Amino acid sequence: SQTIHQWPATLVQPVGSPLSLECTVEGTSNPNLYWYRQAAGRGLQLLFYSVGIGQISSEVPQNLSASRPQDRQFILSSKKLLLSDSGFYLCAWRVRLGLANYGYTFGSGTRLTVV
């Protein structure tokens, strides 16, 4: 079966510390993967997407980076966290919905609090 895993579920990190969030998918190959951030009470902001190993596109210049070291692994990182990096981070995987339409399957999210 096709599943997506995201961890950790919650994280409290001090300002200036590094960050690594991991997302993996199972049951598929060469998935399109995405990282979104959701600030409290707001919509989803696309941060990065990847169409293959080593291929990363950044949507918003910021303190974060992403990597795709393996086909089914997508990592969100930061060398030094800022207070403004707090939020709910969601990994998503593009899935086919019918003949010519696509949607997303989301991971369960990581609540990051920078203190």
Partner 1 sequence: SQQGEEDPQALSIQEGENATMNCSYKTSINNLQWYRQNSGRGLVHLILIRSNEREKHSGRLRVTLDTSKKSSSLLITASRAADTASYFCATDGTYSGAGSYQLTFGKGTKLSVIP
Residues of this chain that interact with partner 1 (CB under 8 A) are 6, 32, 34, 36, 41-44, 46, 49, 51, 57, 88, 90, 92, 94, 97-98, 101-109, 111
Beta carbon of residue 50, minimum distance to partner 1 (angstroms, whole number)? 8
Whole-angstrom distance, CA of residue 31 vs CA of residue 49: 11
Beta carbon of residue 105, minimum distance to partner 1 (angstroms, whole number)? 7
Whole-angstrom distance, CA of residue 114 vs CA of residue 82: 7
Beta carbon of residue 107, minimum distance to partner 1 (angstroms, whole number)? 5
Beta carbon of residue 17, minimum distance to partner 1 (angstroms, whole number)? 23
Token digits for 59? 């949507």
Phi, psi of 114 (to 5 degrees): -100, 125
Helix, strand, coil percent content, the chain, rounded in steps of 5: 5, 60, 40
97/115 with CB nearer partner 1: 97
